[in-house]
Amino acid sequence: MDKNKVMLKLRKICIVLIIAWMICVFLFSNQNGTGSSGLSLKVAKLLFNSDDVALKMEGFIRKAAHMTEYAIGAILFYGYCLTYPKMQPKKRIIFSELCVALYAVTDELHQLFIPGRNGNLIDVLIDSAGGLIGIGIIWLTAILINGMEFKAKEDIARGKK
Protein backbone atom coordinates (compact mmCIF):
# COMPACT_ATOMS: atom_id res chain seq x y z
CA MET A 1 0.00 0.00 0.00
CA ASP A 2 1.46 3.38 -0.92
CA LYS A 3 2.01 6.19 1.56
CA ASN A 4 -0.89 8.33 0.26
CA LYS A 5 -3.41 5.51 0.78
CA VAL A 6 -2.11 4.91 4.29
CA MET A 7 -2.41 8.61 5.12
CA LEU A 8 -5.94 8.69 3.72
CA LYS A 9 -6.96 5.72 5.89
CA LEU A 10 -5.36 7.29 8.96
CA ARG A 11 -7.10 10.60 8.18
CA LYS A 12 -10.47 8.82 8.07
CA ILE A 13 -9.75 7.10 11.38
CA CYS A 14 -8.83 10.45 12.92
CA ILE A 15 -12.06 12.02 11.67
CA VAL A 16 -14.10 9.20 13.19
CA LEU A 17 -12.26 9.59 16.52
CA ILE A 18 -12.77 13.38 16.46
CA ILE A 19 -16.50 12.96 15.81
CA ALA A 20 -16.74 10.40 18.63
CA TRP A 21 -14.93 12.85 20.94
CA MET A 22 -17.30 15.66 19.93
CA ILE A 23 -20.31 13.46 20.65
CA CYS A 24 -18.93 12.56 24.09
CA VAL A 25 -18.37 16.23 24.96
CA PHE A 26 -21.87 17.06 23.71
CA LEU A 27 -23.42 14.29 25.82
CA PHE A 28 -21.57 15.40 28.97
CA SER A 29 -22.67 18.99 28.30
CA ASN A 30 -26.24 17.86 27.71
CA GLN A 31 -26.57 16.79 31.36
CA ASN A 32 -28.56 19.19 33.49
CA GLY A 33 -26.79 21.02 36.32
CA THR A 34 -27.71 18.43 38.93
CA GLY A 35 -26.51 15.51 36.81
CA SER A 36 -23.24 17.21 35.96
CA SER A 37 -22.51 18.14 39.59
CA GLY A 38 -23.54 14.67 40.72
CA LEU A 39 -21.05 13.02 38.35
CA SER A 40 -18.22 15.31 39.50
CA LEU A 41 -19.14 14.63 43.12
CA LYS A 42 -19.08 10.85 42.57
CA VAL A 43 -15.60 11.10 41.06
CA ALA A 44 -14.45 13.31 43.96
CA LYS A 45 -15.80 10.79 46.49
CA LEU A 46 -13.96 7.98 44.73
CA LEU A 47 -10.71 9.95 44.72
CA PHE A 48 -10.80 11.35 48.25
CA ASN A 49 -12.92 8.82 50.17
CA SER A 50 -14.36 11.64 52.28
CA ASP A 51 -17.67 13.43 51.77
CA ASP A 52 -16.36 16.70 53.21
CA VAL A 53 -13.27 16.75 51.01
CA ALA A 54 -15.30 15.58 48.00
CA LEU A 55 -17.73 18.50 48.41
CA LYS A 56 -14.83 20.95 48.54
CA MET A 57 -13.06 19.39 45.53
CA GLU A 58 -16.12 18.89 43.28
CA GLY A 59 -15.60 22.18 41.42
CA PHE A 60 -11.92 21.44 40.88
CA ILE A 61 -12.75 17.95 39.60
CA ARG A 62 -15.25 19.43 37.15
CA LYS A 63 -12.72 21.91 35.75
CA ALA A 64 -10.02 19.21 35.58
CA ALA A 65 -12.47 17.05 33.61
CA HIS A 66 -13.03 19.94 31.18
CA MET A 67 -9.29 20.35 30.70
CA THR A 68 -8.80 16.62 30.22
CA GLU A 69 -11.54 16.23 27.63
CA TYR A 70 -10.19 19.17 25.63
CA ALA A 71 -6.60 17.92 25.95
CA ILE A 72 -7.84 14.70 24.35
CA GLY A 73 -9.54 16.72 21.61
CA ALA A 74 -6.35 18.64 20.84
CA ILE A 75 -4.39 15.39 20.64
CA LEU A 76 -6.95 14.01 18.18
CA PHE A 77 -6.89 17.15 16.03
CA TYR A 78 -3.09 17.14 16.08
CA GLY A 79 -3.13 13.49 15.02
CA TYR A 80 -5.37 14.47 12.12
CA CYS A 81 -2.85 17.14 11.13
CA LEU A 82 -0.08 14.54 11.12
CA THR A 83 -1.84 12.85 8.20
CA TYR A 84 -0.72 15.88 6.20
CA PRO A 85 3.06 15.34 6.35
CA LYS A 86 3.87 18.65 4.64
CA MET A 87 1.98 20.68 7.26
CA GLN A 88 4.40 22.64 9.41
CA PRO A 89 4.40 21.91 13.17
CA LYS A 90 3.42 25.52 13.96
CA LYS A 91 0.35 25.19 11.71
CA ARG A 92 -0.54 21.87 13.38
CA ILE A 93 -0.50 23.56 16.76
CA ILE A 94 -2.55 26.54 15.58
CA PHE A 95 -5.09 24.36 13.77
CA SER A 96 -5.49 21.99 16.74
CA GLU A 97 -5.86 24.75 19.30
CA LEU A 98 -8.22 26.74 17.08
CA CYS A 99 -10.48 23.71 16.56
CA VAL A 100 -10.54 22.99 20.29
CA ALA A 101 -11.26 26.63 21.17
CA LEU A 102 -14.05 26.88 18.61
CA TYR A 103 -15.63 23.68 19.86
CA ALA A 104 -15.35 25.00 23.43
CA VAL A 105 -17.32 28.09 22.34
CA THR A 106 -20.04 25.94 20.76
CA ASP A 107 -20.09 23.75 23.88
CA GLU A 108 -20.67 26.76 26.13
CA LEU A 109 -23.39 28.09 23.79
CA HIS A 110 -25.04 24.66 23.93
CA GLN A 111 -24.99 24.78 27.74
CA LEU A 112 -27.04 28.00 27.68
CA PHE A 113 -30.01 25.86 26.69
CA ILE A 114 -29.54 23.16 29.36
CA PRO A 115 -31.42 23.56 32.68
CA GLY A 116 -29.09 24.34 35.56
CA ARG A 117 -26.13 25.01 33.24
CA ASN A 118 -24.72 28.24 31.87
CA GLY A 119 -22.32 29.27 29.16
CA ASN A 120 -19.18 30.77 30.58
CA LEU A 121 -16.20 32.49 28.97
CA ILE A 122 -13.97 31.24 31.79
CA ASP A 123 -14.87 27.65 30.81
CA VAL A 124 -13.87 28.40 27.20
CA LEU A 125 -10.50 29.56 28.51
CA ILE A 126 -10.17 26.48 30.75
CA ASP A 127 -11.06 24.20 27.82
CA SER A 128 -8.58 26.01 25.58
CA ALA A 129 -5.89 25.65 28.23
CA GLY A 130 -6.68 21.94 28.26
CA GLY A 131 -6.07 21.93 24.51
CA LEU A 132 -2.66 23.52 25.05
CA ILE A 133 -1.86 20.89 27.67
CA GLY A 134 -2.75 18.16 25.14
CA ILE A 135 -0.44 19.74 22.58
CA GLY A 136 2.26 20.00 25.24
CA ILE A 137 1.88 16.29 25.95
CA ILE A 138 2.39 15.56 22.25
CA TRP A 139 5.52 17.70 22.13
CA LEU A 140 7.02 16.19 25.28
CA THR A 141 6.30 12.70 23.98
CA ALA A 142 7.93 13.55 20.64
CA ILE A 143 11.00 14.93 22.43
CA LEU A 144 11.29 11.79 24.56
CA ILE A 145 10.84 9.48 21.58
CA ASN A 146 13.34 11.41 19.48
CA GLY A 147 15.80 11.34 22.37
CA MET A 148 15.41 7.57 22.68
CA GLU A 149 15.79 7.11 18.93
CA PHE A 150 18.93 9.25 18.96
CA LYS A 151 20.36 7.25 21.88
CA ALA A 152 19.56 3.97 20.10
CA LYS A 153 21.28 5.20 16.92
CA GLU A 154 24.34 6.21 18.95
CA ASP A 155 24.45 2.79 20.62
CA ILE A 156 24.18 1.04 17.26
CA ALA A 157 26.98 3.22 15.87
CA ARG A 158 29.18 2.26 18.85
CA GLY A 159 28.37 -1.43 18.38
CA LYS A 160 26.13 -1.71 21.47
CA LYS A 161 22.64 -3.18 21.49
Q: pLDDT class for 137, splitting at 50, 70, 90?
A: very high
**Count of residues for the chain?**
161
C-alpha–C-alpha distance, residues 76 and 156, integer Å: 34
- pLDDT of residue 117 exceeding 90, the answer is no
- pLDDT of residue 81 exceeding 70, the answer is yes
Nearest to 66 by CA among 148, 118, 127: 127
Mean pLDDT of the chain: 89
